Amino acid sequence: MATLGPEALVDRRQLGGAFGLREAARRMSNFRWAELEILELLGGWSEAMLYPAIRGGFGLQMFTQAVHCRELGWALANLKRAKQRLQAPSDAFVRLCEQIWLAESPLLRLVGLYRVLKPHLLQAELYHADLTDPVGDSFSIHVLQLCAADHQRDLTWGNAQIERLAASRASRAEALAWQEKLEADLAESGGVVAEGAPAWWLPYTDERANADDELVAARRELPGQGELRSQGYTYRKAPSESLLPNGVQPFPAPLRYAADVPGEPRHPDADAPASTPGGLRYAIHQLWLGENRTVDRCGRFITDFPDLPFGLKFDMAQQAWEEARHMEIDAHIIHLLGGSLGMYPFAARMPWRNTVGESNPFVRLLRGHVVFEGSAAAATNRWLAESEGWASSAIRQGLEHLSADERVHIAFGNDWTLRLIGDQPDRLQEAVDETIRQIEGNPGLREWPDRLRQRYLKRALRMT
Ligand SMILES: [Fe+2]
Ligand SMILES: [Fe+2]
C-alpha cells in the first residue's frame, strides 16, 4: 500500500482572495440589497398575479429570499459591516428594478424576474464565491452557495411558468422584446456590483481595448459607482390599482365569486354540517380563498412598511410560504373528498382594499394575525373534532398541519405588537380600538372585541 507523503496532509487552499474585506463587504451588501428587492417584488406582486399556481411558488420563494437576506446579514457582520446593511449598487440598477416592478402583465413580470434579474444575480454570486478568500471568507462562500442553489431551482420554476403564459406567438414576441430592453438597461447599469459582466481574461486593465466601449463610459457616469453608499435613488412599491378592478382580487375560471353569478342556485353543501363530507368540502373550499388572500396579505406587509424591523419581514415571509402550502393542503383535502377547486362559488367577495389597505401596521397585526388567524385555528380544530371517525388519515393530517401553523401565525401578530408597542399604552389602545371598530358587527367574530380588550387593554392600563 502506497504511503502518503507529508504534503498530502496540508490544507491545499490558499489564504487570500480577489477582494479585500472592504470590497467583499460592499459586494455582499449589494447582493443583500438585490435579494431583499426580489423578496419585495414577490410580496408586492402576489395579490394581482391572477394565477394561483404562481402565488403558490411566490409563497415559497418569499421565504427563501428572506433566508438569503438573513444569511447575507449574518455574513456581513463577520465582514465588519453592520448586520442589516443594504447597499444599492447604483441608481441605474434601482431604476431597472423599478421598471420590472411596474410591469403589469404576469408574463412580463416573470420575464423581468426569471430571465433578467435572477440569472444575473445568480451569476454574480457564483463569481464572488469562486474568487473570494476560500479560507478566511469561507462563510460567505457557504451563504452564496445556499442562495445559488435556490436561485437555480427558482429559475427552472419561473421558466416553466413563462412557457405556460407565453402561449401565443404574439405574447412570446412581446416577452422577448421586453427581455431585450431590460438586458440592455442591465448592461448599462453595470449590474448588481456596478462592475459590468465579469468576462475579462487579461490580468490587467487594457484601456485601449475599452476606450470606445459604451458600457465602460456609461458606468463611469454612474453617481457613486464603486463607492460605499448608504443612500441613493429609492422608490415605493405602491399597489397597482388597475389590476384589481373594484378592489376585488381577480381569478381565472372556474374560480368565481357568488356575487358575480347571481342566478346560480345555492349548493346544498353550503348548508351541510362540517361533520359530513359535503359540508367539510364546502368549508375547506371557502378556506382556500382565505389562504390565497393571506399569502398576499403577508407579502403586502413587507412592501407597505419597508422601515419595520427585518425580523418582522422575515416572519411575514415565513407565513407567506405556510399560507401557500395551505392552498395546496386545502386543494388536496377537497380532492380527497371527491371535489375540485371551483366547484362552488366563493361566498365572500370582501373588497380587497378593506383587508390589506390599512395604514396602521398594528391594526393589521391584530386584525389579520390575532383575530383572523385565531378564528381560522378555532375552525380547523372544530373540523378536526367533527371529522373524527370518518375522514381518512390524510385528510386529518392535513387539518392538523393547518391547525399547527395557525398557532405560529397568531404568535407573529401578538409578539410583534407587544415587542414594538407593548410599552406604549396610547399606541396600543389606538390599535385595539381601531381593530375592534373594524370587526364589530361581524357575526363570525363576535367574541373577539372582548378578547382583545382583555388581552391588550388590561396591559395598557397596568402601564399608565
Ligand atoms: Fe392558513
Ligand atoms: Fe395562517
Measured in Å, residue 298 CA sits from the centre of ligand 2 at 10
Residue 227 lies in a domain: no
Residue 133 sits in the same domain as residue 275: no
Measured in Å, residue 438 CA sits from the centre of ligand 1 at 21
Residue 188 sits in the same domain as residue 286: no
Measured in Å, residue 363 CA sits from the centre of ligand 2 at 17
Residue 273 sits in the same domain as residue 353: yes
Contacts (Cβ under 8 Å, ≥6 apart) of 425: 460, 461, 463, 464
HEC secondary structure over 121-151: HHHHHHHHHHHCCCCCCHHHHHHHHHHHHHH
CATH assignment at residue 429: 1.20.1260
pLDDT at 387: 97
pLDDT at 229: 40
Q: Which ligand is nearest to the CA of 292?
A: 1
Residue 8 lies in a domain: no
Residue 152 sits in the same domain as residue 278: no
- Torsion over CA of 62, 64, 68 and 69, rounded to 10 degrees? 30
Measured in Å, residue 118 CA sits from the centre of ligand 1 at 29
Measured in Å, residue 374 CA sits from the centre of ligand 2 at 9
Grid coordinates of 357: 389597505
Residue 423 lies in a domain: yes
The answer on pLDDT for 211 being more than 70 is: no
Q: Which chain residues have CB less than 5 Å from ligand 2, an ion?
A: 373, 406, 409
Measured in Å, residue 19 CA sits from the centre of ligand 2 at 44
Measured in Å, residue 291 CA sits from the centre of ligand 1 at 5
Residue 434 lies in a domain: yes
Measured in Å, residue 324 CA sits from the centre of ligand 1 at 8
Integer Cα distance of 360 and 213 in angstroms = 50
Taking each helix axis as running N to C, give the angle between helix 277-304 and helix 310-336, from 0 to 180 degrees, rounded to the nearest 10: 160
* Domain boundary pick from 144, 172, 197: 197
Measured in Å, residue 333 CA sits from the centre of ligand 1 at 14
CB atoms within 10 A of CB 102: 14
pLDDT at 193: 87
Whether the predicted model's global pTM rises above the 0.75 cut? yes
* Domain boundary pick from 197, 220, 237: 197
Measured in Å, residue 406 CA sits from the centre of ligand 1 at 6
Measured in Å, residue 341 CA sits from the centre of ligand 1 at 16
Measured in Å, residue 72 CA sits from the centre of ligand 1 at 29
Measured in Å, residue 56 CA sits from the centre of ligand 1 at 13
Residue 208 lies in a domain: no
Residues 64-82 have a mean pLDDT of 91
Residue 193 sits in the same domain as residue 110: yes
- Which band of pLDDT confidence, cut at 50, 70 and 90, is reported for residue 319? very high
Measured in Å, residue 322 CA sits from the centre of ligand 1 at 7
Q: Which residues pair with 346 in a beta bridge?
A: 257
Residue 355 lies in a domain: yes
* Burial category of 374 from C-beta neighbours within 10 Å (exposed 0-12, middle 13-18, buried 19 and up): buried
Residue 410 lies in a domain: yes
Residue 209 lies in a domain: no
Residue 283 sits in the same domain as residue 400: yes
Residue 71 sits in the same domain as residue 155: yes
Tell me: the pLDDT tens digits for 155-207? 999 999 999 999 999 999 999 999 999 999 999 898 998 877 766 677 776 66
Measured in Å, residue 287 CA sits from the centre of ligand 1 at 8
Residue 301 sits in the same domain as residue 415: yes
Contacts (Cβ under 8 Å, ≥6 apart) of 204: none
Domain membership of residue 406 as a residue range = 261-463
Measured in Å, residue 323 CA sits from the centre of ligand 2 at 6
The answer to whether 112 and 182 have CB atoms below 8 angstroms apart is yes
Measured in Å, residue 404 CA sits from the centre of ligand 1 at 10
Q: Which ligand is nearest to the CA of 328?
A: 1
Tell me: the pLDDT tens digits for 380-414? 999 999 999 999 999 999 999 999 999 999 999 99
Q: Which ligand is nearest to the CA of 325?
A: 1
Residue 399 sits in the same domain as residue 273: yes
Measured in Å, residue 385 CA sits from the centre of ligand 2 at 19
* Domain boundary pick from 159, 175, 197: 197
Question: What's the domain count of the chain?
Answer: 2
Tell me: the pLDDT tens digits for 323-376? 999 999 999 999 999 999 999 999 876 655 666 678 999 999 999 999 999 999
Measured in Å, residue 385 CA sits from the centre of ligand 1 at 18
Measured in Å, residue 88 CA sits from the centre of ligand 2 at 33
Residue 142 sits in the same domain as residue 271: no
Integer Cα distance of 67 and 43 in angstroms = 14
Residue 176 sits in the same domain as residue 287: no
Grid coordinates of 143: 451563504
CATH assignment at residue 116: 1.10.620.20
Residue 439 sits in the same domain as residue 332: yes
